[in-house]
Structures are given as C-alpha cells and as structure tokens.
Chains A and B, each alone.
Chain A
Amino acid sequence: AQTVTQSQPEMSVQEAETVTLSCTYDTSENNYYLFWYKQPPSRQMILVIRQEAYKQQNATENRFSVNFQKAAKSFSLKISDSQLGDTAMYLCAWVDLPGNTGKLIFGQGTTLQVKP
C-alpha cells in the first residue's frame, strides 16, 4: 500500500529565514504526482506546489521549491524568505495517475510556525 510520511510534526523558523520540510513516500508505481498543500489557521486547503514524477526538474513556485529525489522517494519542500503568513500546517500528498482511483494519500502534516 502507498504511504506518505512526514516525520516532523512541528517546526519553527524565524521570519526571512529558510526552512525545509521533509516528506518521504512509498509506492511501486512509476508514474504519479506529488503535492504540497498548505492549511493555514482558516483551514482552507491551498495548493502550494505540484510535481510530476516523470519530470526530473524540481518544481518551483516563487519562494517555494521542492527537492524531488525519485529513487530515494523523497519530496522535501523548501520555503525561502519565510513570512508570517507562511504559518500553517503543510501536508505532503501523493496520487497515482488518473484512471486509477485518483485518491490523494496524505502525510501526517507538519505544523510550521514562523516567528517574527
């Protein structure tokens, strides 16, 4: 069965600093997608970044970037120049190709606190 593991329940970072959140997953599939979602205190789920497994290039979105290591099944999120608004729970997720179930498999989440 596919699993996603986030081993850091809580993290903190000073404003303007850089922080990396870890995520590992286990699957026998070759083609899939990986996501990082952000859930701020409002609890609205916000898509941060998406990575397609067949693309070797790491995805980036402004201050957010990933380090995708397919062989190691690792998908970490780097947040640069952290801002107070980045305070949230971050959820790593995996999904297989459409045509299968399309179900997202979530990790346990990492709660990030950005300190002023």
Chain B
Amino acid sequence: GAVVSQHPSWVICKSGTSVKIECRSLDFQATTMFWYRQFPKQSLMLMATSNEGSKATYEQGVEKDKFLINHASLTLSTLTVTSAHPEDSSFYICSATRGSGEETQYFGPGTRLLVL
C-alpha cells in the first residue's frame, strides 16, 4: 500500500508554455501532499505543502504565481508551471501522507521537465 503516481514522467515543452504535472495517491487518501524540486546530484528542495480543499503553503522564494498548485481531491494534486522558461527545467517530485498522525511521506516517481 501507499503508492503515489506522477504523470507525465517526463515532458519537453517550449519556452512560454504551461505544463501541468499530476500527483495521485493510488491506494489511500492523502490529506497532505508536498511538491519538491531536485537539481542534479542535490537533495530535495521543498516548494510547497498542499492540503485538500485549501490553498497551498509555499516555501520562501517560491513564486506562487509561477507554480500553481491545486489539491482538489483527496487523491489528486496538480502542479502547473506557468510560462515555463529554461531555468524551470528540473526534476519535480511529489509526496503524500495518509492523514493526521501519519508522518511518513510516500513519494511519486518524479517528473523530468525540460524547457527549450
């Protein structure tokens, strides 16, 4: 149990376009989801915390208008990179927790984004 999927696994887009990444908890309800960004050979950097039915909480330095997060249901959160630019190219990973009292985060397989 505790499987998290992400779609797409990788995407190439042109500069100026928007890209949506989906994160789904397949066999549990996720009250909280997290979005991370990872550069090559570096650790994960938390971008935002997403709770179902409420606005996401962004980490300092993360542009909320550029990285739109929606957590419309207990099994789905989406990250939209708006007007993507080459510097947004990165590896994006989501994670989810089962709910109150569950501190373990289960991670999706990640999405590799390349902006040309």
A104 touches B105 (CB 8 A): yes
Interface residue B54 (Cβ < 8 Å from any Cβ of A): no
A109 contacts across to B, CB distance below 8 A: 42-43
Q: Which of A89, A97, A101 contacts B49 (CB 8 A)?
A: A101
Give CA–CA (A106, B46) in the complex, Å. 9
- Per DSSP, chain A at the interface is loop
**Smallest Cβ-Cβ distance to A95: which chain B residue:** B103
Q: How many residues of A contact B (CB 8 A)?
A: 25
Q: Which of A89, A95, A98, A107 contacts B100 (CB 8 A)?
A: A98
> Shortest 9 CB-CB distances between A and B: which pairs?
A45-B107, A109-B43, A106-B43, A44-B109, A33-B103, A43-B110, A108-B43, A98-B101, A106-B44
* 7 more CB-based (< 8 A) A-B contacts, given A47-B106, A98-B102, A102-B97: A37-B107, A43-B38, A89-B41, A95-B105, A103-B49, A104-B95, A109-B43
